[in-house]
Structure 1
Amino acid sequence: MYTINVDKECGCFRRSGFENNASFQSNDDALIKANEMVKHMNDKFCGKHGFSFVEDGNTFQISMTAPLATSGCCGGGHCS
């Protein structure tokens, strides 16, 4: 059995309909679903943080990463 675990459920995750600790019969099915989840979470969630995953034995651990969006600055040098 292979499991996808989300270590911190943010509000966007709780509203998403995704299941934490979802189980799969095959490694490939779990890997495909973990990739889909992380892509969706990074593309469609609010952008206050990013997501990535690592495979640890039979578990795919999805974790929050550094914020995707910063203070609204585009980096053009004119915001400061």
Structure 2
Amino acid sequence: MFTITIEKECGCFKKSDFENNRNFENKDDALIEAKNMVKVMNDEWCQKHEFIFSEDGQNFQIAVNERTKAHSGCCGGGHCS
């Protein structure tokens, strides 16, 4: 049995159709689903958090971190200030 676990269920997760502690019989199916979840969570959700995938044997963990502040768009060339 392979399990996808979300470390912390943020508001966006609770509103989604995703399920925490979801079990799969097949490792490939669990891996595909976990990577798909992380992509959706990082690309389509509110951008307050960053979601990071890791694998430990039969467990797939999705960690939740606060996003660092968005960069200003400045390239650092000194002409923006």
Query: TM-score w.r.t. structure 2 length?
Result: 0.84
Whichever residue aligns with residue 5 of structure 1, its letter is T
Structure 2 Cα separation of the partners of residues 52 and 10 of structure 1? 14
Which secondary structure state, in structure 2, belongs to the residue aligned with residue 23 of structure 1? strand
For the pair shown, the structure with the greater C-alpha radius of gyration is 2
Which runs of no fewer than 5 residues in structure 1 stay unpaired? none
Indicate whether 1:74 and 2:72 are aligned: yes
**Cα deviation 1:38-69 (Å, max 9, x = unaligned):** 0000011100111011111111000013406x
Structure 2 unmatched ranges of 5 or more = 75-79
3-state DSSP of counterpart to 2:8:
coil
Please report the RMSD computed on the Cα atoms of aligned residues, expressed in angstroms: 1.6
Pairwise mapping of residues 1-80 of structure 1 onto structure 2 (< 5 A)?
1-67=1-67, 70=69, 74-76=72-74, 77-78=80-81
Letter in 1 for 2:4: I
Q: What do the CA deviations read for 1:24-51 (whole angstroms, capped 9, x no partner)?
A: 0111000000000000000111001110
**Superposition deviation, residue 74 in structure 1:** 2.1
TM-score normalised by structure 1 residue count: 0.85
Task: Name the % identity.
Answer: 51
Tell me the matched-pair count: 76
Query: What is the CA deviation profile of residues 5-33 of structure 1, one whole-angstrom value per residue up to 9, with x for unaligned ones?
Result: 00100000000110000000111000000
